[in-house]
């Protein structure tokens, strides 16, 4: 298995600690007056989404994680699981409700996403950065409310609830930022 020496530590590498994959999100080099150089690292567990802080001495090494990113297509929801298909091999993967987390709000059948696998097992997915969704239900705006910066919460076709400007109506197509869950703009059909 490949390893990373401390001189190769940097933000973004994927490593394995105690048999689990981690993403290094921060690595600071510290050279005290005496003794070895130290590397203070912050890592995020790719399965449980927890953070870990560790300090390594110069010359230490960590095992590289067998993590790969796949382009997948969301197929359908089956009970508590979400089914995706690899765009190249056509192999199907299931992710649990916990693995999908809040990403379900932006999933439409046939949508392309990216999925992380660890030792060929799916561990998480990421929806596109922006999606276009139809408003399923919106309270009608009252006359005169459209000139001010009033907002309201609408129901999207996926079941998500998004805060939008008051002029949005049922049936509108909206572009949504999936990272912040914010309304970006109205889209014409």
CATH of the domain at 167: 2.40.50.140
The number of domains in the chain is: 3
Residue 147 is predicted with a pLDDT of 57
For residue 33, pLDDT over 90 is answered with no
Instruction: Tell me the pLDDT tens digit for each residue of 42-58.
Output: 999 988 888 999 999 88
Residue 179 is predicted with a pLDDT of 87
Give the span between the Cα atoms of 81 and 100, in whole angstroms: 9
Last residue of a domain, one of 44, 64, 84: 64
Residue 167 is predicted with a pLDDT of 85
Same structural domain for residues 56 and 76?
no
Give the span between the Cα atoms of 103 and 175, in whole angstroms: 16
Mean residue pLDDT of the chain comes to: 88
Burial-class residue 64 by CB neighbours within 10 Å (0-12, 13-18, 19+).
middle
Same structural domain for residues 29 and 73?
no
For residue 86, pLDDT over 60 is answered with yes
Give the span between the Cα atoms of 173 and 189, in whole angstroms: 7
| Residue 173 structural domain | 130-187
48 in helix, strand or coil? coil
Last residue of a domain, one of 49, 64, 79: 64
pLDDT tier, 135 (very low <50, low <70, confident <90, very high otherwise): very high
Same structural domain for residues 114 and 136?
no
Residue 148 is predicted with a pLDDT of 62
Same structural domain for residues 14 and 31?
yes
pLDDT tier, 125 (very low <50, low <70, confident <90, very high otherwise): confident
Same structural domain for residues 89 and 55?
no
Same structural domain for residues 57 and 75?
no
Task: Assign residue 53 the CATH number of its domain.
Answer: 2.30.30.30
Same structural domain for residues 74 and 118?
yes
Same structural domain for residues 14 and 38?
yes
pLDDT tier, 6 (very low <50, low <70, confident <90, very high otherwise): confident
Instruction: Tell me the pLDDT tens digit for each residue of 57-76.
Output: 888 999 999 888 899 999 99
Burial-class residue 143 by CB neighbours within 10 Å (0-12, 13-18, 19+).
exposed
Last residue of a domain, one of 104, 126, 148: 126
């Amino acid at each position: 298995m490949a390893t990373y020496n401390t001189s190769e530590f940097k933000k973004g590498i994927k490593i394995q600690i105690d048999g689990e994959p981690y993403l290094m999100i921060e690595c600071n080099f510290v050279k005290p007056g005496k003794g070895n150089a130290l590397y203070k690292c912050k890592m995020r567990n790719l399965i449980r989404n927890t953070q870990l802080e560790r300090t390594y001495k110069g010359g230490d090494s960590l095992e590289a994680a067998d993590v790969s990113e796949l382009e997948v297509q969301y197929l359908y929801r089956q009970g508590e699981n979400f089914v995706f298909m690899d765009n190249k091999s056509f192999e199907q993967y299931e992710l649990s409700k916990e693995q999908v987390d809040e990403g379900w709000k932006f999933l439409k059948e046939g949508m392309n996403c990216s999925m992380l696998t660890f030792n060929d097992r799916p561990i998480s997915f990421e929806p596109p950065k922006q999606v276009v969704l139809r408003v399923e239900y919106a309270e009608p705006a009252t006359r005169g409310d459209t000139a001010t910066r009033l907002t309201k919460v609408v129901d999207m076709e996926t079941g998500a609830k998004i805060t939008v400007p008051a002029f949005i109506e049922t049936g509108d197509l909206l572009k949504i930022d999936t990272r912040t869950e914010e309304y970006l703009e109205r889209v014409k059909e």
